Amino acid sequence: MPLADRGVPPFEADLAAAAAGAALDAVAREWLRTDGSADRLALVDRAFTMLRPAFLT
């Protein structure tokens, strides 16, 4: 179901998608910085935990 059908304005949907993409990019960069030793799942959890308050208002 498109986000617009859930009452999410297009601007907010675009912002959320961009934030999610940036979070995943940051996770990949951190994982590479650690030569693959970092726990990617923990990094993803940390990234989205940081973003969550911005989208749950």
User: Average pLDDT in the 9-32 region?
Assistant: 95
Number of other residues whose CB lies within 10 A of the CB of residue 40: 14
| Whether the Cβ atoms of residue 45 and residue 17 lie closer than 8 Å to each other | no
Number of residues that this document lists for the chain: 57
Q: Is the pLDDT of residue 40 over 70?
A: yes
Cα separation, 30 vs 46, whole angstroms: 12
Q: CA dihedral defined by 10, 6, 17, 50, rounded to 10 degrees? A: 120
Is 1's pLDDT higher than 70?
A: no
Q: Say whether pLDDT at 56 is over 80.
A: no
pLDDT computed for residue 45 by the predictor = 98
Segment 12-19 shows an average pLDDT of 92
For the question of whether the overall pTM of this predicted structure is more than 0.85, the answer is no
**Mean local confidence (pLDDT), 10-16:** 91
